Amino acid sequence: MDQNRLKEFIFAANLSGYAGGKAKNWTKEADRSTTIKFEKGDWLYLDNFYGGEPYGGRTIVFFQNQPIWIMVYYGWVEPTINPKEVYPFLREALLQMPQDSPFRGPKELISHFYRYLNSWSGDVSRFSGQEKIISPLQAVYQASYLGGLVDQQPAV
């Protein structure tokens, strides 16, 4: 698997997904989850999540109809905070994801009232990380994520 092409595709898909806020590309599923779909050539991206608050989900990338990459995630806004005040800033951060590590947002973003922090280890083949949003008074949001390549060789 060409990991540079994979990163380019994930980057483009993420910009068109939740971060881009294009709800017209979102499908409400019978199980009450939401799926965001992005296709380009031989590539398919499916981001399926449950939320509201808190939220959780998984993103799968397929190449030529074969699953090749997955990310799972779980996050929440602190109960005393209005999520509608936090999520626009989260989307702003996610739109600034690094092209070389297109898992979530940048290492840091300060804008308006909030500070976004994201730390991860690994690369597109295997990674894990945590992100949080802090106001001047407290942490208001946090999430964990992990993932990497899947189905690269036959299993026993």
Report domain extents, the chain: 3-149
Distance CA 61, CA 108 (A): 26
Question: pLDDT tens per residue, the chain (156 residues)?
Answer: 799 999 999 999 998 888 876 666 789 999 999 999 999 999 999 999 998 899 999 999 999 999 999 999 999 999 999 999 999 999 999 999 999 999 999 999 998 789 999 999 999 999 999 999 999 989 999 999 999 999 888 776
Is the sign of the CA dihedral 2, 74, 82, 35 positive or negative? Answer: positive
Q: Does this model's pTM top 0.75?
A: yes
Q: What count of Cα atoms within 13 Å lies in the side-chain half-sphere of residue 112?
A: 13
Work out the number of other CB atoms within 10 angstroms of the CB of residue 74. Answer: 16
